[in-house]
Amino acid sequence: MILGPLRLVARLAAAALLVAVGYFSVTFVQIWLRGREHASADAAAILVFGTTEDNGTPSLELTDRLEVALALYRAGRAGYVAVTGSRQPGDVYTEAGVSATFLERHGVPRDRVIVGGGVDTWQNVESVAPALARRGLRSVLTVTDPFHEYRAMAIASDFGLTPYPSPVADSPTAHYGLWRYYLKETLEVGVARFVGYQRLSEWTARTPLRG
């Protein structure tokens, strides 16, 4: 009498596990493929997602993103560059501030740089979305690492933007256990599709540091 219900529970658990594995596998493939796309369309602005800086100097990862943004801007692919990222604990400079300084030193006019903040992807987009809207800028070329491109574009879409992928081609992050980043993105995107990217940010993000 007991074995029957136990077998049913075991079959249901196995079926649920199979569905979950299939779901996250498809999500991984979608993230992988999106990170290999490079849009040819122009946009109103370039949206650079923040990453670490080193005492006022962009890290190698951030430098790669900024160089992609510079190349796009110089090619006339967009008229504005929006930079994001707040301070990490112990930092003096914000990622967005360091990015803005880098761009201005390389010839991007100050009035063409939109400076945001944020400690995660949702906050990054949230920090610049009002400024983009005030200027009537609705489309963006999203510049970030390939594994992050899918989530970055999904969140940009949540804010009413039309995103086009422009991932970094050869990020230094690839040398630091790339599979971990893809696994993290797969889990976060998979969960966010059910709870929403904003709710996921509320669960996981630290309070942004500004200054």
Domains of the chain and CATH, by start: 34-204 (3.40.50.620)
What pTM, to 2 d.p., does this model score?
0.91
Q: What is the pLDDT of residue 6?
A: 79
Which segments in the chain show pLDDT lower than 50?
209-211
Q: What is the pLDDT of residue 207?
A: 56
Q: What is the pLDDT of residue 118?
A: 95
Residues 6 or more apart from 71 whose CB is under 8 A from it?
none
Q: What is the pLDDT of residue 1?
A: 53
Q: What is the pLDDT of residue 110?
A: 97
Mean pLDDT score of the chain: 92
26: helix, coil or strand? helix
Q: What is the pLDDT of residue 191?
A: 97
Q: What whole-number percentage of the chain has pLDDT above 70?
A: 94
- Dihedral sign for Cα atoms in the order 9, 15, 19, 22: positive
Q: What is the pLDDT of residue 211?
A: 39
Q: Where are the alpha helices (DSSP H) in the chain?
A: 3-34, 60-74, 95-105, 121-134, 149-158, 178-195, 197-204
The identity of residue 170, as a single letter, is D
118: helix, coil or strand? coil
Q: What is the pLDDT of residue 123?
A: 97
Q: What is the pLDDT of residue 174?
A: 64
φ/ψ (deg, to 5) at 152: -60, -45
Q: What is the pLDDT of residue 178?
A: 82
Q: What is the pLDDT of residue 209?
A: 45
Q: How far is CA 8 from CA 11, 17, 19, 125, 211, in A?
A: 5, 14, 16, 46, 58
The pair of structure tokens assigned to 110 is 């100050």
